[in-house]
Structures are given as structure tokens and as C-alpha cells.
Amino acid sequence: MAIKHYLQFSDLTADEYAWVFERAAAIKKKFKSYEKYHPLADRTLAMIFEKASTRTRVSFEAGMYQLGGSVVHLTTGDSQLGRAEPIEDSAKVISRMVDLVMIRTFGQDKIELFAQHSRVPVINGLTNEFHPCQILADVFTYIEHRGSIQGKTVAWVGDGNNMANTWLQAAELLGFKVHLSTPSGYEVDQAIAGIRSGESYKVFKDPMQACRGADLVTTDVWTSMGYEAENEARKKAFADWCVDTEMMRAAKPDALFMHCLPAHRGEEVEADVIDGPQSVVWDEAENRMHAQKALMEYLLLGRVKT
């Protein structure tokens, strides 16, 4: 069987997503009822972090143990990765010893290169360009709360970053629309997002207009990891891109609010919104684990017979 990597959202088809979401729901149910499920017994996941993490680390590590497997945790600081060992060599060595690799790094080119030289599936745990595991959990969370996302509208308020790019890939693949509002100079680049056409998204200057009639409103930090030097300039540019109660009122009455977290209350989102009744951010964070367990099961075992 050819190795299946998960480097961008577009690496799975709509049909494969339908399967993974179904499995995520089934695996979550087992977890909630303390039912032992160890399909990945004796399998090992290597997690490589070149950037900080709370959710990604805990969800992959806890998730892998719950599936019966084990985990090796590496960072740039405590491995030869930080001492310029070539990515190709690291990939060849690490992938001879483990069954699956998750990487959080800077450029997408680094994870692509690692995958080219890996004998085992590689999962993107966030790059400057994409965060597919997060959108996997976000769409799963939407489905849990509201049913199919097909034909719905997602309002993106904020930076044209890794999350925005991945939402665009998901919209093109799963058949929904994204209303994008970013400050000027921070727009999404369609070529970097890797989408074929402009049909699945619409750009709005005014964030309030982007939220009008939306089924889901979502945002992210003004300054992503790796862009800290731009922090002061970004604070000025993004001042009007704060999701507030007025924006939520412009969305559909039953609209959900999501944020991948960590959040900065008073910057990209008002406390009243993220801690308010439309927010599903805690379900969203928890679902990282259930969705990624389903993803790991699929990448290693395919469509398991249940």
C-alpha cells in the first residue's frame, strides 16, 4: 500500500473525510464510555516540535496511548534537528524506528521534504502555511453541533494565515463558502493556500460584512508563531478585526463561534464572545484528540472493519 501522508487538508478526498468523521464520532463514543480500543498496539508515533504547543502535544500523545500505541517526543532543542542534521537524514532514520510521524515546524517545504524521505506516514501538526489537523477537528465539531457543513458559510475574521489557508482548502473540498476579512497587507494568497479557484470564498473589507448571515464565525491570533517580530505593527493593523458581540449578532442567530486557541481576549476576540453561549471552543479543543485518533487509525490501518 502506498504511504498516505497528511500534509495539507487536500491530501484526503471528501469521501475519505466522511469516513474519518464517522470514525471520530465512534472513537469518541468509546472514549466517553471507557471502552478499551487498542487498534494501534505496538505502533509508535514520533512527534517533532519546532514550535510551542499545548493542544497538539496533548491530543496526539494522549490519543496515541489511548489507541494502544506509544509516543516519542522530540524538539529542535533536544535533538540533532536543532544542530543542522539534514532533514532527509532525519526522516530516513526516524521513519525506520516508528510507524507514524507528526511534525510541527516553520515552512511547509520542510515537512514536504521530510515526507519525501519517510518510510511511514507524516502528519502536519502545523506549519506556517497550514494547520490541517485543526480544521479536521473544527469541521468535525461543526458537524456534531449542526450537521453537514456543505452549503454553509464560515466567516474568517483576521490574519490570512495557516488557519485561513486551510479553511479555504476545506471549503473547496467539502463544498462550503468562506467569507474572508483580513486587514490590508495580510490577505490570503490563493497560490499559497493551494486552491484551484476563487469560487469557494469571498473577500470583504469590513469584518462585519463578512459575518453577515454566517453559520460559523472564527478567528485566530493576530501574530502567529514565527512572526513575533511583527507584533507591534500587527497590533495596529488588526485593531478592527476583533470578533465582538455585534459581529456575532450579524451572523445567523444559531451561528457558532470557534477559535483554534490559544486566544487573546481583547485582541482578536472579545471575552463575551469566546466565553459566551455561541462559543464551542472547548469542544473544538477536545475534538482535536478524537479527530486525530480517527486520522491515525485511517493512515495506518485504512478503513477498519467495525
Q: List interacting residues with ligand NVA (CB under 6 A).
A: 126, 161-163, 220-221, 224-225, 260
Residue 260 interacts with ligand CP (CB under 6 A)?
A: yes
How far apart are alpha carbons 133 and 201 in whole angstroms?
21
How far apart are alpha carbons 117 and 202 in whole angstroms?
38
Smallest distance, ligand CP to C-beta of residue 191, A: 24
Residue 116 interacts with ligand CP (CB under 6 A)?
A: no
- ∠ CA 149-259-270, rounded to 5°: 125
Residue 71 interacts with ligand CP (CB under 6 A)?
A: no
Q: Is 260 a catalytic residue?
A: yes
Question: What separation in angstroms does the CA of 56 have from each of 64, 67, 212?
Answer: 12, 16, 32
The conformational region for residue 181 under phi > 0 = left, psi -120 to 50 = alpha, else beta, is beta
- Tell me the HSE value of 136 on the side-chain side, using a 13 A CA sphere: 37
Smallest distance, ligand NVA to C-beta of residue 130, A: 10
255, 217 Cβ separation under 8 angstroms: yes
Smallest distance, ligand NVA to C-beta of residue 241, A: 14
Nearer to ligand CP, 163 or 250 (CB): 163
**Among residues 64, 100, 122, 126, the one that binds ligand CP under rule CB under 6 A:** 126
Nearer to ligand NVA, 250 or 280 (CB): 280
What's the gap between Cα 208 and its chain centre?
24
220 binds, among ligand NVA, ligand CP, none (CB under 5 to 8 A by kind): ligand NVA
Q: Cell digits for 290?
A: 478524537
Residue 80 interacts with ligand CP (CB under 6 A)?
A: no
Q: Is 220 a catalytic residue?
A: yes
Smallest distance, ligand NVA to C-beta of residue 51, A: 7
**Among residues 56, 128, 162, 292, the one that binds ligand CP under rule CB under 6 A:** 56
**Number of other CB atoms surrounding residue 82 within 10 Å:** 12
Q: Cell digits for 137?
A: 477537528
Residue 54 interacts with ligand CP (CB under 6 A)?
A: yes
Site of interaction with ligand CP (CB under 6 A): 53-56, 126, 134, 260-261
Query: Which residues have a catalytic role annotated?
Result: 104, 131, 134, 220, 260, 288
